[in-house]
Amino acid sequence: MEEKIYDIAIIGGGIVGAATLYKLQKQFPNLELLLIEKEDHLAAHQTGNNSGVIHSGLYYKPGSKKAINCVSGRKELVKFCEEHNVKHEVCGKVVVASEEFELPYLEKIYKIGQENGIEGIEKITGDQVREIEPYCSGIAGIKVPVTGIIDYVQATERMAELTKAIQDKTDIKLSEEFISVDQGNEINTIKTNKAVYKAKHMVFCGGLQSDRLAKGDGVDAEMRIVGFRGDYYELEDHAKHKVKHLIYPVPNPAFPFLGVHFTRMTDGNIECGPNAVFTFKREGYNKTDFDLKDTLDALSYGGTWKLFAKHWKFGLDEYKRAFSKKLFLERLQRLIPTLEMDDLRVGRSGVRAMALGPDGEMIDDFAIQYKNNSIHVLNAPSPAATASLAIGEDITQMAKERFNLA
């Protein structure tokens, strides 16, 4: 029996990997594709542990890949959900300024939203904020009607199902960890912990492992992935009435995260968070998780220490909140003052892959790089899930050109 040779192998079964698989198969239905995922299900890490928000594109630098792909990807994702019965709701959100000093930042965000072409955004007063969210305290806000909520795991699974429906010779291998690749002139030999596969071309969508996959393929990414865990609380049933939609604070421009916010989930729960703390394990979702290799990789990198030096006050504050429900509550009370300790229960956690340059600066935009016969998604932070179909389209067009697909 002749050994099967796949046209393209995709490493990583998060939503970006699944969207790339789906987009490639839609445009080239005759291709035989392979997706390899080390966990026993798709969307096991960043995709399945994020806040479940369909982002509008409000915060991203106009003209950046983040801004362009978030806005176009959001529209395509909502249409995808409608057509393929994925649980979602375009419920809208409010961004709320609690204090006077936040008003210039709120104005800046509004102007960015206008430049990015976000439909229906409007500046609102504190009274108008309370008309939308009666329990929310604020002096001004931005209403963002196109923000939504979604089950990203279901969306990822649906993309994989639709791909298989187009081409039954395409394979999705779960519980197989990518180990290495030997690149030939025309054929790559891919080794996993269970099997060996052959493919003409490769696309790496490794998320939290993207830098390691790139290094193993001889790509000099000039960055390092450093993990930051985000912990969530949930509102108890008796307190869920205090949040109707999504409520966000005005982000501090000096800190590379959006701040704790309230998110109504598709399962009816209300999540509060996340904080953002350095994690000693890239795929560690508990406060005490530790991995020696991940820790050494992060702490032996100069960029990590430069980030710590710049943001140590914020980092210390975040760590305190990670271990103090009282401090977490105090931050939440800036938006909803009537929240009490017994309104909160411990929720889940997620880990964000932060790509850091040697100077300690966060690599903010999406980054996709081509080398030889491989494409590497080096950096795809939030809003990558919202933008996944747009990112998948970008990769498909790059593959069409670089891999000479027809």
pLDDT band at 256 (very low <50, low <70, confident <90, very high): low
What sign results for the dihedral spanned by CA atoms 132, 325, 310, 219? negative
Start and end residues for every CATH 3.50.50.60 domain found in the chain: 5-47+153-223+364-402
- Torsion angle of alpha carbons 17, 22, 27, 32, nearest 10°? 80
pTM, two decimal places: 0.96
pLDDT band at 262 (very low <50, low <70, confident <90, very high): very high
d(CA 56, CA 58) in angstroms, rounded, equals 6
Q: What is the pLDDT of residue 318?
A: 86
Between 3.10.20.30, 3.50.50.60, 3.40.50.720, 3.10.450.50, what CATH number should domain 5-47+153-223+364-402 receive? 3.50.50.60
Q: What is the pLDDT of residue 317?
A: 85
Q: What is the pLDDT of residue 252?
A: 79
Q: What is the pLDDT of residue 183?
A: 87
CATH for 225-361 is 3.30.9
Length of the chain in terms of residues written: 406
pLDDT at 297 over 90: yes
Q: Is 31 exposed, middle or buried (0-12, 13-18, 19+ CB in 10 A)?
A: buried
Proportion of the chain above pLDDT 90, given as a percent:
88
Q: What is the pLDDT of residue 139?
A: 97
pLDDT in tens, 37-63: 999 999 999 999 998 999 999 999 999
Start and end residues for every CATH 3.30.9 domain found in the chain: 225-361
pLDDT at 258 over 80: no
